[in-house]
Structures are given as C-alpha cells and as structure tokens.
Structure 1
Amino acid sequence: MSEGSLQEVFIKRSQQKKKTSPLNYKERLFVLTEDRISYYDYDAEKQKKKSLKGFVELEKVKCVETVTPDDGAPPERQFPFQIIYDEGPLYVFARNDVIRKQWIHSLKHMVRIFNKDQMQKYHPCFWEDGVWKCCQQAVKQAIGCRVLESRNGGFRFDGSRRTTRKPLPPTPDEDKPPRPPPPQPPQPPTTSQGMTVIAQYEYTPTTPQDLELRKDEEYTILEMSDPNWWKARDKYGKEGYIPSNYVIEGTNSLDKYDWYCKGTNRSQAEHLLKTENKDGGFLVRDSSKAGKYTVSVFTKAGGEIAGCCRHYNICTTQQGLFYLAEKHNFATIPELINYHQHNAAGLVSRLKHIVSNKAKSAPSTAGLGYGIWEIDPHHLTFIKELGSGQFGVVKYGKWQGQHDVAIKMIKEGSMSEDDFIDEAKVMMKLRHENLVQLYGVCTKQRPIYIVTEYLSNGCLLNYLRETLQSPHPVQLLEMCKDVSEGMAYLESQQFIHRDLAARNCLVDGSGTIKVTDFGLSRYVLDDEYTSSVGSKFPVRWSPPEVLNYCKFSSKSDVWAYGVLMWEIYTLGRMPYERLNNTEIVDKVSGGLRLYRPQLANEKVYSVMSSCWREKPEDRPTFQDLSASVQDLLYEMQ
C-alpha cells in the first residue's frame, strides 16, 4: 500500500475536549490519505468500515510524536503516539512498535508538505484529568516541556530559534495587497455514511441547495467539503446543505440539556440568573479553565433583597468521577445535576429552576446560505444609520425582511475595491464566535456594500465610555478573553488584523465582544491612513517596527491587543492622551510604555506589558495570551 493511503485499526483514546465522562478507549479504523487522517467506526467481526467518526486535516497538524505509556497500561496500550493539531492531542495506540514507527514516519513526511510551521516543544506524556502528566501544567494549550530533537517540517528543533522565518507581509505602500491563504481549503467529499448530528437551532433554507433544520431532530452528514456548510440528509431522505455550527454530534451529552449554556461567561450567567430572579435558579457553563465546567446558582437565602449568585466548579476525582461542594461522586455531569436538583448537599440551595439561554437567536452562519456571497441589494432593507467610519456610512437593516444585518456602504475612492472583492470569499470562510461574521457583498452597483452580522450594543469604545457602569473585574477580564480568542483564531489562520483597537470591536446583546474590520486596512487608499506619519494612522496602537518600518505581523497585532486591554481597563481613555503622534513615535521607540490602569491589578498589567516587548519575537502569541487570561479568570472564580 502506498505511503499516502495507509489503513490500520488502532485503539483511540477519547480526547477530553469536554470532560463529560471518564476516559474511554475504542477501536477505530484509521485511514491516511493525501491531505487528512480520518477515523471510522469499525466492525471487528465483519472487518468492515462503518460511519465516519472524525478527521484531522494534515495542514492543521503541529507535531507527530510518541507518548510515554502509562504505568500498568495493558498490552494493547503499550505503543501510543500523538497527533497534535489545533484542538489538542489525538492519542492513538498501535499494536506494535513497527506499525507505530511506520505511521509516525508517514505522517511526518506528509505533514511537512502542508504545514511548515511545526512545534518546537511537545509533551511526552498524556493530558489527563486536567493536567499534563509530564510537567503538571494545568492549561491544555501550554507549551511543551520537551524539545524535539529531530528535523521536522524544515526546522531544526535543537532548542535554538528557527533560522528560517515566514516572510513579513508586504507593507502598505506596495501596489497590491497580498491574499492570505484560505482559512480552510476545500476537502474531498466524504462518500461513506457519516456521523449522526442533532439540530440545536431551526434553519430555514435560503437557497434551493439548503436543507431545513428542525430543532432536536437527527440528520446524517453526507459530506464535509466546506467546513461551514455540510451536506446532510434528514429522516425523510431529503438532502441539502446545513450550517455546521447549528448541529452537534448525537453523542454529545451536554449540549442537549437546557441547563447547559454553552459559551456563556460568568458575567452573562449572573445577568441571566438575576433577570430570572428565582431562588435556586441555576445553569451550567464552561469554566475559564479549558475542559472544565461551573454551576452558577442564584439564591436569596443570604438575606440580600436582590439576591446573589454563587459559582461552583465541577471537580473530578482521580478515578474520573464528578462532584461539587460535597464528595457525592457521579460518573457523568447529567447524573450530578439530577442529584443536586433534589439535594443541596453542600450548595447554597438545591438546583430548583433551570435558567437557559437556549431561546437566544441562532449563531451567525458563514454567509446567508450555502454558496451565497454576492447579495442582491434589492433584498436589503435599510432601517437606521449606526455611524460612519473610514470607508463610509454603516446602517442597520434586514436581509429578505427577516435577518438582522449591518450594511457598510463604501464611499467611492476610499477602498481598493477590486482587491477586496477578490478576497471577500476567503474572508467569509473565517468563522468564530468572537469575530463579526462577514455575510457577503453587493458589488454590481456603486457604492458597493459589505454586509455583516449586526451587534446590538455597538462599538466597544462607546460601550466602555457610555454604557458600562461600575464593572466587576471579572467582566473586564472576560472582555479581554473574548478578544484574545477571536484574535487567536485569526492568528491560526495566518490572518493579520493591522488595526486592532476598541473602536474596531463590537458588543452583542449579551455582552460578548467580537472583533471586526480585520484585514480591511490593507485596502485603504487614504495616504494619511497608510503612512505612519499621517494623522489617521493608528499610531497609538502600533509597535516600533510598524512605526519605523511598516512591518506588520501577528506580533504587531499582539502589541495592539495590549493597548486594547489598556482601553478596557481605563473604560475607554485615549492611549498616550497628552502626546501627539510625532511625540508617540519618538517616545515609544525610545521605550515609553502605557501606565498601569487603576482597575488593573499587577497580574493583569503583567499580561498587558508582555504585549509591549521591544522585539516582536519576545511577545507572546494570542494562544498564549488567551491561556493567560483564562488562568486569571479561573483564579477569580
């Protein structure tokens, strides 16, 4: 069999993306093709491949390496190896060392073709029960503790810095802005019977190719060639495309419960509970610590007229059982919740009333329907003006009379329109809960329109200055977390923002922060904006290498993120407010940095300051920043 088409039955360990059950080990048929590794359910008796259970694109793989087996592991789990990609480690157990070496060799060879940017350090032991067993770090994204000693992906892993670097993106004075690589290249169709998913939201088709989704009904996935739109079949045999973020795998044990409020942070949870105003109201949310969960409870038992909220982290025993305040242990989280619905057992109250955010509107889709990117302007209704910016007026409106949208009307002469239009399809594929979704463009008339997701609370800068009243420290840090996660996604897609600031973030109705206008500064035709000497250039958010050489990178975005954190903790003050642009260029290049805001403690200011290191390579990545902010949030819970 050729190197590019290996097949083997391995034991796969569950990935603990969400710690809803103890670890399990299942036989899966692994198939390595030219651009992905897929794994399938497998009938051992009939030696037959069954439904697709998952896959990893080779372009996302950061490292392939052996893992040290656990002490006392059974014979079938003596030869583990790990495939590290964006979502964490995939652990696989081979029958013997020969097969393991063959797969590691083949994977490393093929990964080099797709991804030159490999890890320099890795974890030689397993991630288990919320910690790395080798170094006891409790952050899943923590940098590895062992240096890779072999050549991998074209880089030498001997502890020294890479001698080859990605080329810096072209500077603004070049004729034509570059296009970043597509966020996720098209994948070959999955022709075998796919996984079963359950619809979390209703979806009404907007094109003849779409398939209607009915909440809580099951669908079979037929094809995943577009990461944002999957081809599916309903129970009546009808086929079409559905938004992939509207469904969950049928085996996911938490998403189907009304008390699980996915994506809800502490501030949002307290708002939900206080609005409901019921003693014993509760919900379960993701903890700030990756892979963990928190139960938030509203109580009036403390004598407070308005009531208050208590937060309990769901803990895990060494055996993988779950418990809350008292050690009443349960195999699953749903069993734990059911018990505490009838027994307080150490909590301030038993869990009496489910408080849910499931009635919220459905999440944004990548486009307004499968294949839609050019929008008919006649389908847009303009309702009110939201403001104006670098490119022109922004209005709130409706698409087809029902979908809320924001419409940016590009004034002629402000943008390199042809270049932007070429890239609009690529930008539409960027989808993250902390990015403002681009829905499409209207390019058949002038002015052209850019149609995006609408966020009801508007610009973060105005929100900080005018709406936020006596914010809790957790609320400010959650804002920073939202931005760091959106930017970590852009960083993973090799996409540079170039103009990150509070004015370029928006706030939705529940207080979630989303980054907008990413990459648009490359298309500005205004000389004052594209030159660091111009008054419109974002000097106050720019690092020395941008001010002096116009060298943009993800690390210049990191600098701007530190300034944005400063804006959040000063509730929207102007950075370096007493200096003009010329003075800022001189003083920042000479070592001046922003002071610690009164609302920021030393740990928060340390994160800010790490973004303002002189050399770009000394600054953290957004993935590092996101992990640091999550750690600080976890300390506050």
Structure 2
Amino acid sequence: MNSEAILEETLIKRSQQKKRTSPLNYKERIFVLTKTKLTYYDGSSEKRTKKGSVDLQKIKCVEIVKNGEVAIPCQNKYPFQVVYDANTLYIFAPSNESRSVWVQSMKREIKQNASIVAKFHPQFWQEGVWLCCRQAEKLAPGCEEYNLFGDISRKPLPPIPGNKTPGKTRRPPPPPPPTEEEEVTEEEPKEEVVIALYNFDGMETQDLTLVQGEEYIIVEKCDVNWYKARNKYGEEGFVPSNYVTEKTPGHLDQYVWYCKGVNRNQAEQQLRNEDKEGGFMVRDSSNPGAFTVSLYTKSAGEGTSSIRHYHIKVTQTVPEQFYLAEKHHFNSIPELIEYHQHNAAGLVARLRYPVGKQGRSAPSTAGFSYEKWEIKPSDLTFMKELGSGQYGVVRLGKWRAQHKVAIKAIREGAMYEEDFIEEAKVMMKLSHPRLVQLYGVCTQQRPIYIVTEFMELGCLLNYIRQRRGSFSTENLLSISQDVSEGMEYLEKNKFIHRDLAARNCLVNDSKVVKVSDFGMARYVLDDQYTSSCGVKFPVKWSPPEVFNFCKYSSKSDVWSFGVLMWEVFTEGKMPFEHNPNHEVVMMVTQGHRLYRPKMATPNIYDIMQLCWHERPEERPSFAQISVMIRDVLEGDS
C-alpha cells in the first residue's frame, strides 16, 4: 500500500458507459483511496495501469446501494455508489464488512465538501431508469434523504411531485448526526431463519442439501432464485429460494394445510379426490391478502357430500384478530386452524384432515444450480421422442440420470442461434409455477440443445382436443387462470412472449398448465411466421398494432391471451378457421372479432372482448385479467 493511501483493495467496477448491463460490463480493479483521490487500476496485469480517478472534492454522495431483486452478474455482491459531477460510479465489494469500511471512510473524507447532495437514489440506475423511483432522467433529483454520517436504513422521502410512486410516505425528521467523536457503526443484521418446504439434493459441490421441515440460516440472497444458506452443522451452499420460506407465524407456506395458488375449482377437485371426512385446505381468496378455508364433509344429508368455503374474517381491533365463528377470535391464522381442528364451533365439521401438500412434487428450480446455464451433453440421457416443432425434434431425457427433462435439438437454420444463446441466460432467471422452466442450454456442439422442464401431458391444444366434452366451464376457466398467472409474471418482469397460443402452453401430470417458449419467436426462421415487414408473428393471434406497425408489448400478449381463451372454451378449434391470414388481417382491422363459444358465459366472453380492444392502452393488464378470472371462479365464495 502506498504511503498516503487510506484504503487499498481489489473491488469490481460497473461500466458507466454502457446503456445495457451484462456480465462483460463488470471489471476487476484495484481501488486506492487517499486524502485527495479515489483511483482505480487495472488489476488483471502484473504491471499496474491507471484506468481512472475521482477527485474527492467533486464527490457529492457515497452510500451503499439497496439491491432489491436485481441479479448481480459478478462474484462481489455488496454494491456501493460514488456520485460525482454528473456521474454515478457503482463499485462492488466482496463482503458487507468491506463495503462498510469503504463507505464510512469516504464519508469521513468528503464531509466538508460544499456540493454534498440533500437527496440521492438508493437503488441502481439500470436499463435507462432509476429502479427506486422509476424516473427515466439520469440527472433527476434523488428520491431519498442522504445522511452524510450514517447508513440508509431509513424510510424514503415523499415522492417527487408529478412522479407517481406508490408507497412513499413522509418520514419524521432525522435524528441529529453523531458528533465526530462518536463511532459510526452499522447495525448487525438479524439472521433470517427459513424452513425447507421440500427436499433438495444438491447436484453440484457448491449446493447445500435441504431436508423438508428443517431450519436453515440465510447467509446471502444471491439473486431472486438462489440463496446461500447454512445448516445446523455449519455447512454452507446454494439452495433454490422457492424451496424455503421464512420462519414466522405470518408465513403460511410452512404449514401443510396451506395451498398457495389453488383456486376454488381446483380446491373442490382435490378435496373430492381425497374423499375424507373433514378434509380441508386454506387457500388464497379472490381478494388479495385474504384467505378461505375449503372444507369437505360426507354427512351433508341423504348420503351426499358437500364442500363449504369459509372466508377467514378479520376484526377491526388493534391488534387485529382472525375468526371463522363470531365467538372464537385468534391472534393468528395458525392458531385459528389449530382450534378448529379440535372444535367444529359452527362449521359443518372439524378440520380433521389437511389436503394439499402431501405428495405434491417440488417446484422447478431456475437452472440446476446457481449461475449454471451451460449443460454438458454428457450429462444428458436421451429417451423417447415426444414430437417435433418449428425448432426441431423434442425428446424426453434425463439430466445426470435423475431429473426428467425435455430436450429440444435445434435443427440447423431453424433459429438465430447466437442471439438466442445470449437471451437464454436471461430467460433462465424467469421462474414461476406457471412457466415451463428453462434449465439450461448445450452450446458447445451442433445441434445446440435447449433443456427444459418435462411436462407429462404435453401441449395444451392437443390436451383439450383429445378430451373434448369432458370439461366443465370451471375447468376451462382454471386453465385460463393458470396461463394468465404465468403471463402476469412475465408482464411484471417486462418480458414479452410474442407467440402466446394454446400450442405454446404445456400440461403436467397434476393438470397444471404452464406457458412455454416465451420470447422464442424472435429467433425463429420460419416463413409462416414472417409478415410483410419482415417480423415474425402468428397472424390469427395478433392485434392490429402488430399487423400494421410490428409493435410488440405486454398489451399485444393480452390480445393473444384473449384468442387463447377462445381456443380453450371452444376445446381446441382454430381461430378464424375458414379464413386465410390476409382475410383475417382485413377483418380484424375492420373491427370483426371471434364469436362467443358455447361454453363461455357472457361474463367470461366479456374478458375475451376486453383483451381485443383495438387500442392497446384500453386492454387490461394480466394482473387485472387474473383478478377478473379469479372473481368469476370464486363466485360468492
């Protein structure tokens, strides 16, 4: 360390020049802090080369960055920021302790600067927007008060006028800053304890095995899909985030009777299949944040069975309490369930037998391990052929002789391979119970392979065609709800499908429908998908703005979803079956829409018609569609 250096350490710097962020924009640099400058050098060569320097007098803000759910594509996961002139320098430290030392040391050096900011941005500038307040102007004023001495564990300021950011409330005046003699230290974060919902057998040396029901401590939240955890023996490793849940009474996932994402129709099917007196589950109500107890009894009179749905009600008192029967109030839902397991107290039966999680298969993981997207061909075993699509042959296979997977061999000339391989790294991070999971790709040979979750009952279009006449309206609406929930997740993550249709959804052996092939249409080379403007789209599922301007958005996916709902409620008919594509373009442009299927009630057809508004901005979001479908399914439950 040179004689006047205060700190010196190898850290990682994010490029300030690139608009889009990728792993290539993160460079390892040797950072040196002196009384006058923050300088960074090329750390990859033996001979140190100066790459940049910031005059400390020009620095306006030094602070940690609240990461939220942004995946950091480098090994250092503790970001902080240095704001100077019109620039924001993002630096990534290897540990919380390292970051704290750098931030506190630099704050001490700049405290006399004349240009210290009053407000700053606590989250990243990424993809042309501030993630904390969604402002799209890089030099926009900050949205949270800056503390020259302490950390940022405080409530944000009110939103900037004209910038509608929900949830920002006025905070009380901050406490006076500590005197110079006081030691400024960050509070030690509390350990987060989680419970394993499923067994997980780590396949890589970096993974940690999970045992269902056991407790673990979260060491680091690497990204939204993978955590680093520690078991009771002190062993650490990566675990999928959707296999664990926080250990608090408010988190119902840990209880065997809670069935997240199960609607009224699915609950009734499961309870009838079990056919046990007092069979019950707790599920989400149609109103967000509310819950319903679904209860099965055989003694409904005259030898018949029935299912009752009871809303869990909440008192207006402080603290709030929960109840099913007016006389019996409880501080938590688990306490309420435990009481009614022993006392009917106004219900048709006691809650005798929890139905739901027993035997339910574990969810898919985003890849087979953390940041593992390249799969070795030698790890794959090829089994029977499942079919062939526009990309090539699809086979059932196994990864490392254990995990069943679907393997698509991409035939030469079927897609823009290089572009897809880059996008696959992004697509792997998309993980939801209603999306077919992409596990990885084999790119080191030709043909390349795409490895995905295996869905036993195949494509949704064939599934409904082969079972025509066996569906109720509620069954078909449940199928539509599954798809809308998958699309709601894509919409939330600003990912456009571009080819949503029944043929691009798959069904597993639990009859759960999942959205597949999202975003793939951009990479297909296929004449039937090519329009006059050279962009690929399936005409009969596409809205006017795609015909006319090749303009894709989540709202163009909403139009396609309306057509998919029509496919579902006609049990697999071809939209505009008697009209060629050029006629469909003309008909839709003139305002013609698909007719109401016999199995679709008027309120279900209303949802389809909302999806087919000519103006994209008048179409509902997928979040709104999911609520509308849930309301129809729940009825007055």
TM-score scaled to structure 1, two decimals? Answer: 0.70
- The one of 126, 130, 150 aligned to 1:113: 130
**Equivalence map 1:586-601=2 (5 Å):** 586-601=586-601
- The one of 160, 163, 168 aligned to 1:152: 163
**Secondary structure of residue in 2 paired with 1:603:** helix
Residue matched to 1:132: none
Please say if residues 263 and 634 of structure 2, whose CA atoms lie closer than 8 Å, have aligned partners that are also in contact.
no
- The one of 269, 272, 288 aligned to 1:271: 269
> 1:485 is aligned with what amino acid?
E
Residue matched to 2:633: 633
Structure 2: gaps (5+ residues): 1-61, 70-77, 82-115, 137-158, 166-186
Against the structure 1 CA distance between its residues 104 and 365, is the aligned structure 2 distance closer, same or farther, given a 3 Å change threshold? Answer: farther
Aligned equivalents of 1:202, 1:104: Cα separation in 2:
49
Q: CA deviation at 1:291?
A: 1.1
Residue matched to 2:549: 549
Against the structure 1 CA distance between its residues 636 and 480, is the aligned structure 2 distance closer, same or farther, given a 3 Å change threshold? Answer: farther
Q: CA deviation at 1:630?
A: 2.6
Residue matched to 1:418: 418
Please say if residues 195 and 249 of structure 1, whose CA atoms lie closer than 8 Å, have aligned partners that are also in contact.
yes
**Secondary structure of residue in 1 paired with 2:566:** helix
> 1:378 is aligned with what amino acid?
S
Q: CA deviation at 1:469?
A: 4.7
Aligned equivalents of 2:325, 2:292: Cα separation in 1:
11
Please say if residues 528 and 535 of structure 1, whose CA atoms lie closer than 8 Å, have aligned partners that are also in contact.
no
**Secondary structure of residue in 2 paired with 1:152:** coil
**Equivalence map 1:496-511=2 (5 Å):** 496-511=496-511
Residue matched to 2:239: 242
Aligned equivalents of 1:436, 1:633: Cα separation in 2:
24
Aligned equivalents of 2:368, 2:123: Cα separation in 1:
39
Please say if residues 221 and 227 of structure 2, whose CA atoms lie closer than 8 Å, have aligned partners that are also in contact.
yes
Q: CA deviation at 1:481?
A: 2.0
Residue deviations 1:6-36, cap 9 Å, x none?
xxxxxxxxxxxxxxxxxxxxxxxxx973344
Aligned equivalents of 2:477, 2:224: Cα separation in 1:
31
Aligned equivalents of 2:462, 2:325: Cα separation in 1:
41
Q: CA deviation at 1:609?
A: 0.9
Against the structure 1 CA distance between its residues 388 and 507, is the aligned structure 2 distance closer, same or farther, given a 3 Å change threshold? Answer: same
Residue matched to 2:216: 219
- The one of 200, 205, 214 aligned to 2:202: 205
Residue matched to 1:61: none
Q: CA deviation at 1:522?
A: 0.3
Aligned equivalents of 2:302, 2:389: Cα separation in 1:
46
**Equivalence map 1:485-524=2 (5 Å):** 485-524=485-524
Residue matched to 1:607: 607
Q: CA deviation at 1:632?
A: 2.7
Please say if residues 207 and 370 of structure 1, whose CA atoms lie closer than 8 Å, have aligned partners that are also in contact.
no
Aligned equivalents of 1:149, 1:241: Cα separation in 2:
40
**Secondary structure of residue in 1 paired with 2:245:** strand
Residue deviations 1:202-259, cap 9 Å, x none?
1111111111111212111111132211111111111111111111111144222222
Please say if residues 123 and 131 of structure 2, whose CA atoms lie closer than 8 Å, have aligned partners that are also in contact.
no
Residue deviations 1:91-127, cap 9 Å, x none?
xxxxxxxxxxx999545997863367569xxxxxxxx
Aligned equivalents of 2:578, 2:261: Cα separation in 1:
39
Residue matched to 1:569: 569
Residue deviations 1:276-314, cap 9 Å, x none?
221221121222322111211222212465733222221
Residue deviations 1:37-87, cap 9 Å, x none?
79xxxxxxxxxxxxxxxx9x99xxxxxxxxxxxxxxxxxxxxxxxxxxxxx
**Equivalence map 1:210-609=2 (5 Å):** 210-252=207-249, 253-303=251-301, 307-319=305-317, 320-324=320-324, 326-467=326-467, 469-531=469-531, 537-609=537-609
Aligned equivalents of 2:377, 2:566: Cα separation in 1:
40
Q: CA deviation at 1:520?
A: 0.4
> 1:245 is aligned with what amino acid?
N
Against the structure 1 CA distance between its residues 395 and 636, is the aligned structure 2 distance closer, same or farther, given a 3 Å change threshold? Answer: farther
Q: CA deviation at 1:537?
A: 4.6
Q: How much identity, in percent, do the aligned residues show?
A: 56
Please say if residues 276 and 355 of structure 1, whose CA atoms lie closer than 8 Å, have aligned partners that are also in contact.
yes
Please say if residues 326 and 345 of structure 1, whose CA atoms lie closer than 8 Å, have aligned partners that are also in contact.
no
**Secondary structure of residue in 2 paired with 1:215:** coil
> 2:162 is aligned with what amino acid?
R
Against the structure 1 CA distance between its residues 249 and 558, is the aligned structure 2 distance closer, same or farther, given a 3 Å change threshold? Answer: same
Residue matched to 1:24: none
**Secondary structure of residue in 2 paired with 1:255:** helix
Structure 1: gaps (5+ residues): 1-30, 39-54, 59-101, 120-147, 155-189
Please say if residues 66 and 122 of structure 2, whose CA atoms lie closer than 8 Å, have aligned partners that are also in contact.
no
Q: CA deviation at 1:488?
A: 1.6
Against the structure 1 CA distance between its residues 104 and 257, is the aligned structure 2 distance closer, same or farther, given a 3 Å change threshold? Answer: farther
Query: Which of these two proteins has the greater Rg computed from alpha carbons?
Result: 2
Please say if residues 397 and 406 of structure 2, whose CA atoms lie closer than 8 Å, have aligned partners that are also in contact.
yes
Instruction: Quote the RMSD (CA, aligned, Å).
Output: 3.2
Aligned equivalents of 2:262, 2:605: Cα separation in 1:
25
**Secondary structure of residue in 1 paired with 2:254:** coil
Against the structure 1 CA distance between its residues 423 and 338, is the aligned structure 2 distance closer, same or farther, given a 3 Å change threshold? Answer: same
Residue matched to 2:65: 34
> 1:300 is aligned with what amino acid?
K
Against the structure 1 CA distance between its residues 535 and 600, is the aligned structure 2 distance closer, same or farther, given a 3 Å change threshold? Answer: farther
Equivalenced residue count is 486
**Secondary structure of residue in 1 paired with 2:277:** coil
Q: CA deviation at 1:447?
A: 1.3
Please say if residues 117 and 153 of structure 1, whose CA atoms lie closer than 8 Å, have aligned partners that are also in contact.
no
**Equivalence map 1:51-62=2 (5 Å):** none
Against the structure 1 CA distance between its residues 110 and 281, is the aligned structure 2 distance closer, same or farther, given a 3 Å change threshold? Answer: closer
**Secondary structure of residue in 2 paired with 1:422:** helix
Please say if residues 115 and 153 of structure 1, whose CA atoms lie closer than 8 Å, have aligned partners that are also in contact.
no
Against the structure 1 CA distance between its residues 626 and 272, is the aligned structure 2 distance closer, same or farther, given a 3 Å change threshold? Answer: closer
> 2:281 is aligned with what amino acid?
L
Q: CA deviation at 1:340?
A: 1.8
> 1:467 is aligned with what amino acid?
R
Aligned equivalents of 2:636, 2:469: Cα separation in 1:
20
Please say if residues 326 and 346 of structure 1, whose CA atoms lie closer than 8 Å, have aligned partners that are also in contact.
no
Aligned equivalents of 1:109, 1:256: Cα separation in 2:
31
**Secondary structure of residue in 2 paired with 1:494:** coil
Q: CA deviation at 1:390?
A: 0.8
Please say if residues 312 and 325 of structure 1, whose CA atoms lie closer than 8 Å, have aligned partners that are also in contact.
no
Q: CA deviation at 1:501?
A: 0.6
**Secondary structure of residue in 2 paired with 1:395:** strand
Please say if residues 524 and 530 of structure 1, whose CA atoms lie closer than 8 Å, have aligned partners that are also in contact.
no
Residue deviations 1:466-508, cap 9 Å, x none?
2365433333222222212211211122211110011111122
Question: Which fold has the larger relative contact order, with Cα–Cα distance below 8 Å and residues 6 or more apart in sequence?
Answer: 1
